[in-house]
Amino acid sequence: MAVAIDTPVADFQAQATSGQTIQLSALQGQQVVIYFYPKDSTPGCTTEGQGFRDQYPAFQAANTLVFGVSRDSLKSHENFKCKQAFPFELISDKEEVVCQLFDVIKLKKLYGKEYLGVDRSTFLIDKEGVLRQEWRGVKVPGHVDAVLAAAQALHKT
């Protein structure tokens, strides 16, 4: 069953950069932003990641962890993270377990061909593990600022 606003997010475990295993239940007590993006080192995904990187101190001040998720390999993620100096971890979801949980695999079209791909989406989870806000079909410009504002507002409650 996919996630829904104002309900707890099912616990999951996933492999991430820096040799880490991310388990949602272990993050309670902190807010969590999980952003899904289609592919490492592509223009829109790079711009989005740089936005989260540049605002990372403000997310930290709002007691909010940030994780990027795509279906790329850990090796690809490590290169992307290193090249862009991301201060947060990237989760490799080749089996689409986390993607399915958040229902972000959508039918897309490119040059007239249809394929299943990751719909750029972001989720804000409160410190008790409850989904508080979601953004689907994200357009990159201004998006990180909107997520940060929501994280800051939630942190104050």
Residue of 16, 24, 45, 150 marked catalytic: 45
Are β-strands 31-36 and 131-135 bridged in parallel, bridged antiparallel, or unpaired?
Answer: unpaired
The pLDDT of 24-30, averaged and rounded, is 97
Task: Check: CB of residue 143 under 8 Å from CB of residue 19.
Answer: no
Residue 152: the pLDDT is 98
Span 32-79, pLDDT tens digits: 999 999 999 999 999 999 999 999 999 999 999 999 999 999 999 999
Report which DSSP code applies to 112.
Answer: T
Name the amino acid, one letter, at 116. Answer: L
pLDDT-above-90 percentage for the chain:
96
Length of the chain: 157
Average pLDDT, the chain: 96
Query: Is 82 known to be catalytic?
Result: no
Q: How many CA atoms lie within 13 A of 22 on its CB side?
A: 22
pLDDT-above-70 percentage for the chain:
99
Write down all domains in the chain, each with its CATH number in brackets. 13-156 (3.40.30.10)
Query: Does the structure show a pLDDT above 90 at 109?
Result: no
Residues ≥6 apart with Cβ < 8 Å to 81? 17, 89, 90
pTM of the model: 0.96
In angstroms, the CA 155 to CA 157 distance is 6
Residue 1: the pLDDT is 64
* Confidence bin at 157 (pLDDT 50/70/90): confident
The pLDDT of 9-27, averaged and rounded, is 97
Residue 110: the pLDDT is 84
Q: How far is CA 50 from CA 30, 65, 122, in A?
A: 22, 15, 15
Report which DSSP code applies to 7.
Answer: S
Query: Does the structure show a pLDDT above 90 at 20?
Result: yes
In angstroms, the CA 59 to CA 126 distance is 13
